[in-house]
Amino acid sequence: MLLDEGRFILRGKARKVEARVEKFDFSSHGGKSQLHETLQEVDKKTRVFVVHGEEAKCKLLADWASNELGLQTMTPQPGESIDI
């Protein structure tokens, strides 16, 4: 629904999404080199949220993407809300 229609359901109500939403076709279990390759292709203005994996590994990936690629990255905590 999010990709096809630009909306999602929150608390039972359909909400319109005004952000550009894209799908990346890679495994969440990809290795370090595959994740690095994918991030190297991301537009530099893109905000990257690293949310899947061990906390320390997420932090390492986010720090690498920030320091090496200049991407704006975050590793949100479970339940943390982020305004985008």
pLDDT at residue number 24: 73
User: pTM, whole model, 2 decimals?
Assistant: 0.64
Confidence (pLDDT) at 63:
96
Q: How high is the mean pLDDT in each 10-residue block of the chain (84 residues)?
A: 89 89 71 88 90 89 96 91 83
- Helix runs in the chain, H state only: 2-5, 32-40, 55-69
pLDDT at 28: 59
CA 17/CA 3 separation, integer angstroms: 10
Domain residues of the chain, as ranges?
2-74
